Structure 1
Amino acid sequence: MKIIFFAHPVFINHQSMPRFARMLAEGMKARNHEVEIWSPNEYFHKYPSKENLKKWMGYIDQYLLFPLEVRRKKRRLGEKVLFVFTDHALGPWVKLVEDNPHVVHCHDFLAQRSAKNEIAEHKTSWTGKQYQALIRNGYSKGKNFISVSEKTRKDLGSFLKERPVRSEVVYNGLNRSFAPKEPNRAGRIVSEKTGIPLENGYILHVGGNQWYKNRIGIIQIYNAWRILKGQEVPLLLIGQSPSEELKKIYGASPFRKDIHFIENASDEVVKNAYAGAKVFLFPSLAEGFGWPIAEAMASGCPVITTNEAPMTEVGAEAAFYINKKPCTEPEVEAWASEAAEVLNTVINLEQKEREFWIERGIINAQRFDQKKSLDRIERIYADILKNCKSA
């Protein structure tokens, strides 16, 4: 097959989406397909300007100049070409190839749902709503879709006006090698790399500052657990530098000396952090898939996550579950206390029971194999190209 992948421009500094696009492109190239990646070049965005204006300059590159480049490039292509959008947020470009064989990968519809006032925890500005409408009007022209979870496919269906030709679910495959290690040795490596004393073990979270990651809720659960149980086990939060709001919650914690933010962690630190943790705490409010759940399980770490899809899809019967954090402040304290009890249960599992949950997690994580995911995606791509009338 000849496959053209549409990807986010480098200059907007996405992290997960470029990795996903590279995984697809490299996976298809390794299967002997002819591959190209098309994304906007930086022309206007590179000029010095205030951050808000810089964003609009980037829109000129993405939505005015790039379509002209796509139309020019299309003229040199043969007929048997499949166009792949690596993210439905690239929707405004779908109209450029809507009459050609194409497929749109869908990750999560949180921004779309927020723009429709469907998420109480997050509000979208007027301009943000217009931008999400532009994206929605774009991907709605698509005919074939691949979603990362049943939850994402369900959300997609609620936004499409017509039933698509094809709407499949292919779970993400782990794109880095995660495997169990001897916990004490893994913990020592993390301690050596970070300078944090971890001889009593630690509680782990991996994630960014996005509202749905609920990093504030993690500290609230940790505070409740320390008050209720009194065990001095550190909390490690691997990811971005804490937001101002998170810094306030951290600063007010009586246990802040045991709360550690680790930024720019290497793959070595992340992998060992998973393998050495007593428990992985992931109380997300929402996700498209929930990569870290599978990563932690594959590393032999018990997982606590939210009892909501798609976290339940990924965790299945191998995770411990807590309720979703409530929106109203008076209920948060009770929620944190209930979650703290679950946290305490997992931390204090007897060895045999801990081994049982670790083994269950490892087996569950095997569902998310990158090779199997790419094999399935390849079959879908080939089927779309074969059956598309314009091909």
Structure 2
Amino acid sequence: MHIVFFTHPPFLGSQSMPRFANMLAEGMQERGHEVEVWTAKPKFYDFKVPAGLKKWMGYIDQYIVFPADVKKRLKEQNSNTLFVFADQALGPWIPLVANRPHVIHCHDFLAQRSANGDIAENPTSASGKKYQAYIRQGYQKGKNFISVSNKTREDLSQFLTTAPRLSEVVYNGLNTAFKPLDVTECREAIGTAIKADLSNGYILHVGGNQWYKNRVGVIHLYNAWRDKYGTNIPLIMIGAKASAKLADQYNASLYKNDIYLLSGKDDLFVRQAYSGAAVFLFPSLAEGFGWPIAEAMAAGCPVITTGEAPMTEVGGDAAYYIPRRPSNGEGATWADGAASTLNKVLNISAVERNAVLEAGYKNIYRFSLKDAIQQIETIYKKVNNQSF
């Protein structure tokens, strides 16, 4: 096959989506397919304009200049070229090839649901709602979709106006670099880096400042656990530099001397942090998939996460679940209940812990990169052989 991948332009600063597109492109190249990657270039975006206008210059590049370029390039493509969109958020480009063989990868619909008023924690501005509508109008022209989870596929179905020709679920493949490391060595390495005694373990969270990561809730839960049980196991949070809200929550904590907000850490540090943790705490309000759950299990760490899809889809029977943090001001009640689960997991016996870790190892077999590429290739071929 000849496959053209569309992905987000690098000048937007996104890392995950271009990385996903590269993973697909490399996987298909290794299987003998001819591959190209198309995206917008920063022509207007590179103009020297006030910071407030940069976004709009980027829109010109993405939605005026690039589509015109695509229309020219399409004249050189034969009828059996397959066009693949690495993300449904590239919706405005989809009508350009809606009548040609195409596949749209769907990751999450959190922005769409927020714009629809479905998520109280993430209100959307008037302009944001219009932008999400613009994206939606584009992907609604699509016919073939691959979602990363059943939850994502369910959300997709709510936004499509007609039934798709194809709508499949393929789990992303887990990076094989995540595996169990020596617990003592990992705790010593992390402890040395942050100048703390971690010999008794620590509670770990990994995630950015996106609203759904619930980083403020992590500290709220930790405070409740310390208040209730009086144990002083540290909390380590790895991710982006703390937002103002997270910094406020940290500074207000009576236990801030035992809370470590870490950013800019490399992959090895993160892998060591997973393996050395006593428990991985991941109380997200929502997720597109929730990769840290699988990463923690692969690294040999028990997981506590939110008992809603797609976190339950990733954690399966191998994770401990707590309720979603409510948006109605009942955070204290939530934190108190979740603290009980946290304390339970921290105090399981060695035999119980080994059983939990073994269940985690078995669970992550579902997330094979080789299997994912195989399934995706099969779907690509199926779509490319359909008559349009």
Q: TM-score, normalised by structure 2?
A: 0.98
Per-residue CA deviations over 1:174-231 (Å, capped at 9, x if unaligned) read 1352111121112222223444432221111111000000000000000001111111
Give, in angstroms, the shift of residue 120 of structure 1.
Answer: 1.1
Aligned partner of 1:249 in structure 2 is: 249
Q: Which runs of 5+ in 1 are unaligned?
A: none
Per-residue CA deviations over 1:75-120 (Å, capped at 9, x if unaligned) read 2222221000000000000011011100100000000001010111
Q: Which runs of 5+ in 2 are unaligned?
A: none
Aligned residues: 388
Inter-partner Cα distance in structure 2 for 1:193 and 1:4: 44
1:273-292 equivalences in 2 (<5 Å): 273-292=273-292
Structure 1 contact 298–366 (Cα < 8 Å) conserved: no
Aligned partner of 2:370 in structure 1 is: 371
1:53-72 equivalences in 2 (<5 Å): 53-72=53-72
Aligned partner of 2:91 in structure 1 is: 91
Q: Secondary structure at the match of 2:164?
A: coil
Inter-partner Cα distance in structure 1 for 2:312 and 2:119: 19
Inter-partner Cα distance in structure 1 for 2:187 and 2:29: 37
Give, in angstroms, the shift of residue 265 of structure 1.
Answer: 1.0
Give, in angstroms, the shift of residue 234 of structure 1.
Answer: 1.0
Aligned partner of 1:332 in structure 2 is: 331
Structure 1 contact 305–319 (Cα < 8 Å) conserved: yes
Q: Secondary structure at the match of 1:32?
A: coil
Task: For 1:74, give the aligned amino acid.
Answer: L
Structure 1 contact 323–335 (Cα < 8 Å) conserved: yes
Per-residue CA deviations over 1:327-377 (Å, capped at 9, x if unaligned) read 122x11010010011001111111000000001011101111111111100
Structure 1 contact 94–138 (Cα < 8 Å) conserved: yes
Q: Does 1:217 align with 2:212?
A: no
Residues 68, 182 of structure 1: CA spacing in aligned structure 2 closer, same or farther, 3 A cutoff?
same
Inter-partner Cα distance in structure 2 for 1:368 and 1:282: 19
Aligned partner of 1:293 in structure 2 is: 293
Structure 1 contact 6–38 (Cα < 8 Å) conserved: yes
- Say which is worse superposed, 7-16 or 70-79, in terms of deviation: 70-79
Inter-partner Cα distance in structure 1 for 2:30 and 2:230: 52
1:1-391 equivalences in 2 (<5 Å): 1-329=1-329, 331-387=330-386, 389-390=387-388
Task: For 2:117, give the aligned amino acid.
Answer: N
Give, in angstroms, the shift of residue 52 of structure 1.
Answer: 3.0
Task: For 1:347, give the aligned amino acid.
Answer: L
Inter-partner Cα distance in structure 1 for 2:185 and 2:341: 26
Q: Secondary structure at the match of 1:226?
A: helix
Inter-partner Cα distance in structure 2 for 1:195 and 1:246: 22
Query: Percent identity of the aligned residues?
Result: 55
Structure 1 contact 307–321 (Cα < 8 Å) conserved: yes
Inter-partner Cα distance in structure 2 for 1:173 and 1:99: 30
Could you say what the CA RMSD is over the residues aligned between the two structures, in angstroms? 1.0
Give, in angstroms, the shift of residue 32 of structure 1.
Answer: 1.1
Inter-partner Cα distance in structure 2 for 1:34 and 1:195: 50
